[in-house]
Chains A and B, each alone.
Chain A
Amino acid sequence: MNQGNPVTGRSERCTLCSEPPVIRLPEPERHLCAAHLIADVEERAARTISERELIKSHDRIAIAFSGGKDSTALLVILSRLLPAWEDVSLVAITVDEGIAGYRNDTIRAAEEVTKKLRIEHVCISFTDLIGDDLDTLLIGRETQACSVCGILRRKALSVAAHKAGATKIATGHNLDDEAQSVLMNTLRGDLPRLVRTSDADSSGCFIPRIKPLAEISEKEIAAYLFVQDMFPFLPECPYTRHALRLEVRTMLSAMEQKHPGTMRNLIKSKRAIEKYVDPSVFSEPLRRCRVCGDPCSGELCQVCSLRKSLGK
């Protein structure tokens, strides 16, 4: 084993072999070459999946596939792990929100990747779902972009997943996303949301969602793709991001840099709280949307109340 320079921690070689390193990772401190990084990331995703029992025999997994880095990594990883599971199939679902100058490129990239990996690919657009694209829907309400888009994207995904016969929906949420969500829900004082977000919800009404990359950092995902020439150099969404998430992201990555392990510790705290919380305290009696019949918490589901406010 090559431990590198004990003073600087610098290493000219991978900790596991003699190849040049591409990344330095903490806990345990190690330098990895491209091949060992790929193996490390895939092994950890496989461990998350088996420890949390995210995928079972005969599952049909719908992968929420935007063509961005997280979902591209998810697709590559699941396609490589696939032979290890009995009778599991994958279908990639891309939602076309209809954002001019942004979506066309990412959809083309998404098509190339699924073709290369030979994974069934389905596209669904906001126009299919609600009759208009996001750009049109947002005229005069641009500041609500992320919430409108989020509600419709979730719905589009679940419609397409149902149609494809999926038993689970896999999303590319990574360790950074998870840590950000914990902190955001804490800062908002939203305890129900804090303890309700993890893993698959078992309500039986929705297709359960799984997050196989929840233990892998954003940087590891980017590096994993880069060394395989699969890093998507794509434009960012032109609509303003959720302001609070952006602030939390900057703050957390600065903290992580100074105090490695911060993100993992946040998630650990959340899991500890979850253990002590009686979930029934927060579960509202299940109701059905008055218009579409979807399960929801109020009188109208989010999609129908959005439709109403859009006059759709």
Chain B
Amino acid sequence: MKIILPNSTINIIQEDPVSITSILDNLNINPSEVIVSRNGKLVPEDTLIGGDDEIRIIRIAHGG
């Protein structure tokens, strides 16, 4: 499973299945400061992910 971090670096995670909440927790990212997509679609943080999922963590930039 591929995790794309806000700074565009890519993490490969073997653990499966796992919730997005626990991934954010491990990365020390506050869920209210990001939105997360799975294979291009927005998903809630309590979603379980695994397999070939491509997860993208998008930082909600401040301002504007």
Residues of chain A at the chain B interface (Cβ within 8 Å): 8-11, 20-24, 31, 34, 66-72, 106, 172, 217-219, 222-223, 226-227, 231-232, 234, 236-237, 241, 249-250, 253-254, 256-257
Contact = CB atoms under 8 A, between A and B. Distances in A.
A10 B17 CA distance: 14
Contact of A22 (B44, B60, B62, B64): B44
7 contacts: A10-B19, A10-B46, A31-B44, A70-B63, A217-B32, A222-B60, A256-B32
Interface size class of B (residues with CB under 8 A): 20 to 34
A241 B61 CA distance: 12
A141 B22 CA distance: 43
B46 to A, nearest CB: 4
Given A223-B35, A254-B30, A257-B32, A24 B44 contact: yes
A226 B30 contact: no
B42 A236 contact: no
Given A22-B44, A31-B44, A254-B30, A226 B64 contact: no
Given A22-B42, A23-B44, A66 B63 contact: yes
Interface in B11-46: 19, 30-33, 35, 37, 41-46
A23 B41 CA distance: 11
Given A20-B41, A253-B32, A253-B33, A218 B46 contact: no
A21 B42 CA distance: 8
Given A20-B41, A20-B43, A237-B63, 5 more contacts: A31-B44, A226-B35, A226-B42, A231-B58, A241-B63
B10 interface: no
A10 B37 CA distance: 17
Given A66-B64, A222-B35, A241-B62, A21 B30 contact: no
A159 B47 CA distance: 48
B42 A72 contact: no
A172 B64 contact: yes
Given A24-B46, A31-B44, A226-B37, A71 B64 contact: yes
Contacts of B58: 222, 226, 231
A69 B35 contact: no
Q: When A and B form their complex, which 10 residue pairs have the shortest distance between CB atoms, in order from nearest? A: A68-B64, A24-B44, A22-B42, A222-B60, A10-B46, A66-B64, A253-B32, A222-B35, A253-B30, A70-B64
A10 B60 CA distance: 23
Contacts of A222: 35, 58, 60
B58 to A, nearest CB: 8
Given A237-B63, A241-B62, A219 B35 contact: yes
Name the residue in A9, A67, A69, A106 with the highest tally of chain B Cβ atoms < 10 Å from its Cβ. A69
Contacts of B60: 69, 218-219, 222
Contacts of A226: 35, 37, 42, 58
Contacts of B42: 22-23, 34, 223, 226-227
